[in-house]
Amino acid sequence: MGTSTIAILAAGISATVAVLSLYLSLLNYLHIRREGRRQLKVQVSNGFLTHGPNLSEFMLFVSVANSGRRDATVNTPYIIVPDGRTFVATQPSGTNRFPLVLHDGESCQIWLPAKDLATGMATAGYRDRVKVRGACRDATGVEYRSKPFIINVGDWLGL
Protein backbone atom coordinates (compact mmCIF):
# COMPACT_ATOMS: atom_id res chain seq x y z
CA MET A 1 0.00 0.00 0.00
CA GLY A 2 1.20 3.42 -0.86
CA THR A 3 1.27 6.43 1.38
CA SER A 4 -1.65 8.01 -0.46
CA THR A 5 -3.83 4.92 0.07
CA ILE A 6 -3.07 4.91 3.80
CA ALA A 7 -3.84 8.64 3.98
CA ILE A 8 -7.18 8.10 2.21
CA LEU A 9 -8.09 5.22 4.59
CA ALA A 10 -7.11 7.31 7.62
CA ALA A 11 -9.24 10.23 6.37
CA GLY A 12 -12.20 7.89 5.77
CA ILE A 13 -11.91 6.35 9.23
CA SER A 14 -11.62 9.82 10.81
CA ALA A 15 -14.73 11.01 8.95
CA THR A 16 -16.67 7.90 10.02
CA VAL A 17 -15.68 8.36 13.66
CA ALA A 18 -16.68 12.04 13.48
CA VAL A 19 -20.12 11.20 12.04
CA LEU A 20 -20.71 8.50 14.67
CA SER A 21 -19.67 10.90 17.44
CA LEU A 22 -22.10 13.50 16.14
CA TYR A 23 -24.89 10.91 15.98
CA LEU A 24 -24.25 9.71 19.55
CA SER A 25 -24.10 13.30 20.81
CA LEU A 26 -27.45 14.01 19.17
CA LEU A 27 -29.03 10.91 20.73
CA ASN A 28 -27.68 11.90 24.15
CA TYR A 29 -29.02 15.45 23.75
CA LEU A 30 -32.49 14.19 22.75
CA HIS A 31 -32.55 11.74 25.67
CA ILE A 32 -31.65 14.45 28.20
CA ARG A 33 -34.21 16.84 26.68
CA ARG A 34 -36.96 14.19 26.78
CA GLU A 35 -36.29 13.41 30.44
CA GLY A 36 -36.71 17.07 31.32
CA ARG A 37 -40.17 17.39 29.73
CA ARG A 38 -43.52 16.52 31.17
CA GLN A 39 -44.84 13.34 29.58
CA LEU A 40 -48.56 12.86 29.98
CA LYS A 41 -50.39 10.06 28.21
CA VAL A 42 -54.14 10.31 27.63
CA GLN A 43 -56.29 7.27 26.86
CA VAL A 44 -59.98 6.82 26.10
CA SER A 45 -61.87 3.60 26.78
CA ASN A 46 -65.37 2.47 27.63
CA GLY A 47 -66.94 0.02 30.01
CA PHE A 48 -68.78 -0.22 33.29
CA LEU A 49 -68.12 0.70 36.88
CA THR A 50 -68.66 -2.09 39.36
CA HIS A 51 -70.71 -1.68 42.52
CA GLY A 52 -70.35 -5.01 44.28
CA PRO A 53 -72.18 -7.52 42.08
CA ASN A 54 -73.89 -4.72 40.09
CA LEU A 55 -72.69 -2.79 37.07
CA SER A 56 -73.16 0.89 36.34
CA GLU A 57 -74.60 2.26 33.14
CA PHE A 58 -72.25 2.21 30.13
CA MET A 59 -69.44 4.76 30.63
CA LEU A 60 -66.72 6.52 28.64
CA PHE A 61 -63.42 6.77 30.54
CA VAL A 62 -60.66 9.33 30.00
CA SER A 63 -57.41 8.46 31.78
CA VAL A 64 -54.31 10.61 32.18
CA ALA A 65 -50.97 9.13 33.30
CA ASN A 66 -47.71 10.89 34.06
CA SER A 67 -44.98 8.74 32.51
CA GLY A 68 -42.32 11.42 32.83
CA ARG A 69 -39.93 12.29 35.64
CA ARG A 70 -41.45 15.69 36.36
CA ASP A 71 -44.61 16.46 38.30
CA ALA A 72 -47.43 17.82 36.16
CA THR A 73 -50.52 19.77 37.16
CA VAL A 74 -53.44 18.45 35.11
CA ASN A 75 -56.70 20.25 34.43
CA THR A 76 -60.00 18.41 33.85
CA PRO A 77 -59.79 15.96 30.93
CA TYR A 78 -62.24 16.48 28.06
CA ILE A 79 -63.38 15.04 24.72
CA ILE A 80 -62.50 16.59 21.32
CA VAL A 81 -64.78 15.90 18.33
CA PRO A 82 -63.63 16.07 14.67
CA ASP A 83 -64.59 19.72 14.11
CA GLY A 84 -62.46 20.77 17.10
CA ARG A 85 -65.28 21.41 19.56
CA THR A 86 -64.84 20.05 23.06
CA PHE A 87 -67.17 18.27 25.44
CA VAL A 88 -66.28 18.92 29.06
CA ALA A 89 -68.02 17.29 31.99
CA THR A 90 -69.28 20.11 34.20
CA GLN A 91 -69.43 17.75 37.17
CA PRO A 92 -66.87 15.06 36.27
CA SER A 93 -67.03 11.83 38.17
CA GLY A 94 -63.70 10.21 38.70
CA THR A 95 -60.84 9.35 40.95
CA ASN A 96 -59.75 12.91 41.78
CA ARG A 97 -60.60 16.61 41.85
CA PHE A 98 -59.03 18.99 39.35
CA PRO A 99 -56.63 20.70 38.94
CA LEU A 100 -54.51 17.81 40.16
CA VAL A 101 -50.76 17.34 40.59
CA LEU A 102 -49.66 14.02 39.08
CA HIS A 103 -46.30 12.80 40.31
CA ASP A 104 -44.08 10.44 38.30
CA GLY A 105 -46.00 7.20 37.69
CA GLU A 106 -49.38 8.45 38.94
CA SER A 107 -52.61 8.56 36.97
CA CYS A 108 -56.18 9.80 37.24
CA GLN A 109 -59.44 9.05 35.49
CA ILE A 110 -62.83 10.60 34.82
CA TRP A 111 -65.91 8.86 33.51
CA LEU A 112 -68.98 10.10 31.72
CA PRO A 113 -72.23 8.25 31.11
CA ALA A 114 -72.02 7.22 27.45
CA LYS A 115 -75.65 8.08 26.84
CA ASP A 116 -75.14 11.66 28.10
CA LEU A 117 -72.16 12.14 25.79
CA ALA A 118 -74.06 10.63 22.84
CA THR A 119 -77.02 12.94 23.52
CA GLY A 120 -74.73 15.98 23.50
CA MET A 121 -73.04 14.79 20.31
CA ALA A 122 -76.40 14.18 18.60
CA THR A 123 -77.48 17.70 19.57
CA ALA A 124 -74.25 18.98 17.97
CA GLY A 125 -75.17 17.16 14.72
CA TYR A 126 -73.27 13.89 15.02
CA ARG A 127 -75.25 10.77 14.17
CA ASP A 128 -73.08 7.80 13.20
CA ARG A 129 -69.51 6.71 13.87
CA VAL A 130 -67.38 9.56 15.16
CA LYS A 131 -63.66 9.60 15.95
CA VAL A 132 -63.11 11.45 19.19
CA ARG A 133 -60.00 12.06 21.26
CA GLY A 134 -59.54 12.45 24.96
CA ALA A 135 -57.40 15.41 25.97
CA CYS A 136 -56.23 17.50 28.88
CA ARG A 137 -54.04 20.52 29.46
CA ASP A 138 -51.30 20.95 32.00
CA ALA A 139 -50.85 24.11 34.05
CA THR A 140 -48.64 25.64 31.35
CA GLY A 141 -51.40 25.25 28.73
CA VAL A 142 -49.82 22.39 26.77
CA GLU A 143 -52.49 20.05 25.41
CA TYR A 144 -52.03 16.28 25.45
CA ARG A 145 -54.28 14.11 23.24
CA SER A 146 -55.14 10.45 23.06
CA LYS A 147 -55.25 8.31 19.97
CA PRO A 148 -58.61 8.44 18.15
CA PHE A 149 -61.46 6.48 19.72
CA ILE A 150 -64.55 5.59 17.69
CA ILE A 151 -67.98 6.26 19.15
CA ASN A 152 -71.15 5.13 17.42
CA VAL A 153 -73.56 7.86 18.53
CA GLY A 154 -76.67 6.03 17.30
CA ASP A 155 -75.78 2.86 19.18
CA TRP A 156 -74.94 4.77 22.35
CA LEU A 157 -78.25 6.66 22.23
CA GLY A 158 -80.04 3.32 22.29
CA LEU A 159 -78.37 2.30 25.58
Q: Which residues pair with 102 in a beta bridge?
A: 72
pLDDT tens per residue across span 14-68: 888 888 888 888 877 766 666 666 789 999 999 999 888 889 999 999 999 998 8
What pLDDT score does 141 carry? 92
Whole-angstrom CA distances from 51 to 15, 32, 108, 110, 117 are 67, 45, 19, 17, 22
Looking at the predicted structure, is the pLDDT value of residue 159 above 60? no
- Contact (Cβ atoms closer than 8 angstroms) between residue 93 and residue 116: no
The model's pTM = 0.75
Between 49-53, 104-108, 142-146, 150-154, the lowest mean confidence (pLDDT) is in 49-53
Sketch the domain layout of the chain as residue ranges: 1-36, 38-157
pLDDT of residue 79: 93
Close Cβ partners of 34 (under 8 Å, ≥ 6 residues apart): none
Please give the share of the chain, as a percent, with pLDDT higher than 90: 41
Closest to 130 measured CA to CA, from 64, 84, 73, 70: 84
Of residues 106 and 20, more confidently modeled = 106
Fold of domain 38-157 = Immunoglobulin-like (2.60.40)
